[in-house]
């Protein structure tokens, strides 16, 4: 279940309410297992690192806005050496409302000093794509974990980043502008 906060996931699967303390304990266990399994095994989607380099060479501001906990983000960002390439990094502990609420994307746009309508979001989850759309941003659905039918109506869809070019970015940003 991608793009959902752990309290939602726990309630969904166990069909019961948990206390804040129980959520924290179960979340630490779940996320600790994630980090244990994935440490040393993090691979970017094909074409991602090249695409990021293209954006940086064009002077484009880049950011990470994830529902993941800080420790998970730190693992992934360290293994892919992402942090130095980002002008804003937000994760679950830095926000009060979770996706599909647009808070994380609106804060990211503010951090970057960019109008939300000039932001492009790449999302692989329904709640994440919805959050980007709710923020008034352009959204490219990444079909790595969901099908096109499982995501809300995005401005464009890709299977991986080998399908993205600078020209595509410009075209998507021009939609309804």
**Angle 89-35-37 from CA coordinates, rounded to 5°:** 140
The whole domain housing 95 covers: 48-174
Residue 118's CATH number: 3.40.50.1000
27 CB-side CA count, 13 A: 22
Tell me the β-bridge partners of 90.
65
Strand 138-142 and strand 63-65: the pairing is unpaired
Q: For the chain, how many structural domains are there in total?
A: 1
Residue 103 lies in a domain: yes
Confidence of residue 176 (pLDDT cuts 50, 70, 90): confident
Residue 116 lies in a domain: yes
pTM, whole model, 2 decimals? 0.83
Which tokens hold the place of 68? 């993941």
158 CB-side CA count, 13 A: 20
Residue 3 lies in a domain: no
Residue pLDDT, tens place only, 59-109: 999 999 998 889 999 999 999 999 999 999 999 999 999 999 999 999 999
Residue 106 lies in a domain: yes
Residue 18 lies in a domain: no
């Amino acid at each position: 279940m991608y793009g959902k906060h752990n309290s939602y996931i726990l309630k969904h699967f166990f069909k019961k309410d948990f206390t804040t303390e129980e959520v924290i304990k179960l979340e630490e266990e779940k996320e600790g297992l994630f980090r244990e399994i994935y440490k040393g095994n993090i691979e970017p989607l094909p074409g991602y690192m090249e695409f990021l380099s293209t954006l940086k060479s064009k002077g484009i501001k880049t950011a990470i806005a994830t529902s993941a906990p800080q420790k998970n983000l730190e693992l992934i960002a360290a293994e892919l050496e992402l942090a130095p390439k980002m002008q804003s990094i937000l994760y679950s502990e830095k926000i009060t409302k979770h996706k599909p609420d647009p808070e994380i994307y609106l804060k990211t746009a503010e951090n970057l000093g960019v109008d939300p309508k000039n932001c492009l979001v790449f999302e692989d989850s329904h709640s994440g794509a919805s959050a980007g759309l709710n923020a008034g941003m352009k959204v490219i659905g990444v079909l790595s974990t969901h099908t096109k039918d499982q995501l809300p109506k995005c401005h464009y869809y890709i299977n991986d980043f080998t399908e993205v070019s600078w020209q595509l970015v410009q075209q998507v940003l021009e939609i309804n502008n």
